[in-house]
Chains A and B, each alone.
Chain A
Amino acid sequence: MKVENGNMVNTLKQQKKSEYTIKPGDKVGIVGVPPLSVISKLSETGAVIFDLDEPRVKADMELTSNYLPRVYCAILRTVVLNALHLELDAVFIDVGPGKCDCAFHVSTVLQDMLNIPIIRTRNEDKKGFGYPLCRTKMSLFEKMQQITKGVQNPFPSSPDSPPCTPTAGFWGVPPRDFSLLNLFPCTTHIYGWTRCMENKTPADTDLEAVFNPHVPTIFFAQSFCAKTALAKFLAAKHPKGLYLDVDVTCSSSTGAKIQAFLELNGVPHAPC
């Protein structure tokens, strides 16, 4: 908004972009976990979905500084970076309790930045689909990839993922930099918002707060994300918890912190 001749003038292009009919082959970006009804519709129509939370283009993050502060959630900066480079037909951005206030503000930025429909959603889906991947024996990197990929379809995760006995825990959101996941053993169970993602209930705050007090657990959040407060709070409650926040990429000292935490707690890095 700006003041012009004493009157408030809406400079956003929100109104003219709010109506959108999905067409087969449309390139549609999603941010967060849009409601199942949206994902089902995109899937049925044959739209090509791009998860904008993940790095999809090789471009300098600095390009986003015209739109967002440099000190801002790296996931949402990645959303803007992707949106700048991918020629999308529409974006569905979840801004409800299953995502964050920052995403709401980023939706405003995207509306002004792009000449395509930016559709805000509020995912408050309650039906749980289960979270077998979070508990199965598989490299944490691969598990996280499958879970984030699962957001793009309306189906539950593969039932062929039997649970394993956990030796470590990863609580939190999928990190901007997946490389830090390689430091964990294959018997790491996933908790927090990532578990909610697999369950397709991103606003389930009760599920998000679950952790296993019997296994050493890293409580991870992206730097400058509101979830840092919850991560730090839960890490303090956990008998063997370590709070960790990372911005864009995992530094060597952060990697060493994870490695030392697991090693000093006697967690073996067994091969998968």
Chain B
Amino acid sequence: MLLADFGTSYCKFLDLGVEGAKPYLIATKKLQKNLRVDLATGHNGKRFSDSYVNELTALARGGEELIKAPDYVLLDCGSRDIKYVSYKGGELDDMGWNSECGASMGFTIELLERYYDLDFHSLAVPDRTFSVTCGVLGMSHIFDAVTSGISEAEAVARFVKGIAINAYRFAGSPETIYLSGGMCDNPLFVGSFPCRVITLGRYALIKGLEITARKHLPKHHERTKNTE
């Protein structure tokens, strides 16, 4: 049974039919158009599967499996949007999905890294930040800063910090954030949060799909899919 999280920039896969298989990553632009999977999530997921789990459900189920604390906030920062689930006493307490004002945060950060030829692993977290509400609207801050004599690297770092602070507030300003999604691999972004951050990597939603497949799908679904 092939599971996939179809993201804007990268897609994550896990084959439950292979014992001990690990999840893996493929760039979205390299996907074959006729690809079909058994169970999908992610905003492109419905194009590639007849069985779809929405991203918040997948994130929540992934969090329930990966996080042992009863109270937590799990924030997923991807290319296109940000979303979170918060749990209290082991039960779902709140959730949010921001695909408008949180639009294109990760995508914009990746574009900036390439355009300005930067390495986020070598950039220090700046003291100052920009007030950024979304990737697109925040760009002008960078151009204005560079025009005023601030280095491109410093301007982009302030922008990234602004995005991290915005995401932190969106998630309810918790003391600790469990962070998932591609932005976990960006040390500048992770270090810019004004709270403790525990990174879970890119595969939280895939873990949620795995839980859905193992615990929540009707048996006939599994049988049907396995015989195809």
Is there contact, CB below 8 Å, between A257 and B95? yes
Is B55 interfacial (CB 8 A cutoff)? yes
Is there contact, CB below 8 Å, between B60 and A264? yes
B55, B83, B92, B98: most-surrounded residue (chain A CB, <10 A): B92
The residue that A260 contacts in the complex, of B60, B99, B100, with Cβ under 8 A, is B60
Residues of A within 8 A of B96 (CB): 257
Q: Which of chain B's residues has its CB closest to A262's CB?
A: B57
* Number of residues of chain A lying within 8 A (CB) of chain B: 13
The residue that A256 contacts in the complex, of B54, B92, B94, with Cβ under 8 A, is B54
SS class of chain B's interface: helix, strand, loop or mixed? mixed
The residue that A264 contacts in the complex, of B55, B92, B97, B100, with Cβ under 8 A, is B92
Is there contact, CB below 8 Å, between B57 and A253? no
CB distance from A183 to the nearest CB of B (A): 11
Is B81 interfacial (CB 8 A cutoff)? yes
The residue that B55 contacts in the complex, of A251, A256, A263, with Cβ under 8 A, is A256
How many angstroms from the CA of A257 to the CA of B60 in the assembled complex?
Answer: 11
Q: Which of A228-272 contact B (CB under 8 A)?
A: 242, 251-254, 256-257, 259-261, 263-265
How many angstroms from the CA of A251 to the CA of B94 in the assembled complex?
Answer: 19
Is there contact, CB below 8 Å, between B81 and A253? yes
Q: Which of B44-72 contact A (CB under 8 A)?
A: 54-57, 60-61
CB distance from B163 to the nearest CB of A (A): 18
Q: A251-B99, A251-B100, A253-B99 are in contact. Are A260 and B56 (CB under 8 A)?
A: yes
Residues of B within 8 A of A242 (CB): 94-95
CB distance from A254 to the nearest CB of B (A): 8
Is there contact, CB below 8 Å, between B98 and A260? no
Residues of B within 8 A of A251 (CB): 99-100
How many angstroms from the CA of A264 to the CA of B64 in the assembled complex?
Answer: 11
CB distance from B53 to the nearest CB of A (A): 9
Q: A261-B95, A264-B92, A265-B92 are in contact. Are A256 and B56 (CB under 8 A)?
A: yes
Is there contact, CB below 8 Å, between B81 and A260? no
Residues of A within 8 A of B60 (CB): 260, 264
Is there contact, CB below 8 Å, between B97 and A257? yes
Q: Which of A44-100 contact B (CB under 8 A)?
A: none
Residues of B within 8 A of A257 (CB): 56, 95-97
Residues of A within 8 A of B43 (CB): 252
Residues of A within 8 A of B55 (CB): 256
How many angstroms from the CA of A251 to the CA of B99 in the assembled complex?
Answer: 9
CB distance from A194 to the nearest CB of B (A): 23
How many angstroms from the CA of A265 to the CA of B91 in the assembled complex?
Answer: 9
Per-residue A-contact encoding for B79-106, CB less than 8 Å = 1, 0 else: 0010100000000101111111000000
How many angstroms from the CA of A256 to the CA of B54 in the assembled complex?
Answer: 6
Residues of B within 8 A of A260 (CB): 54, 56-57, 60, 95
Residues of A within 8 A of B100 (CB): 251, 253
Q: Which of chain B's residues has its CB closest to A235's CB?
A: B94
How many angstroms from the CA of A265 to the CA of B57 in the assembled complex?
Answer: 11
Residues of A within 8 A of B98 (CB): 253
Q: Which of chain A's residues has its CB closest to B91's CB?
A: A240
How many angstroms from the CA of A264 to the CA of B63 in the assembled complex?
Answer: 12
Is there contact, CB below 8 Å, between A263 and B81? no
CB distance from A231 to the nearest CB of B (A): 14
A242, A253, A261, A265: most-surrounded residue (chain B CB, <10 A): A253
Given contacts A259-B54, A260-B95, 12 further A-B contacts (CB under 8 A): A253-B83, A253-B97, A253-B98, A253-B100, A256-B55, A257-B56, A257-B96, A259-B57, A260-B54, A260-B56, A261-B92, A264-B92
CB<8 Å pairs between A and B, sample of 9: A253-B98, A253-B99, A254-B97, A256-B54, A257-B97, A259-B56, A264-B61, A264-B92, A265-B92
Q: Which 9 A-B pairs have the closest CB atoms?
A: A260-B56, A256-B54, A253-B97, A260-B57, A253-B99, A264-B92, A264-B60, A263-B57, A259-B54
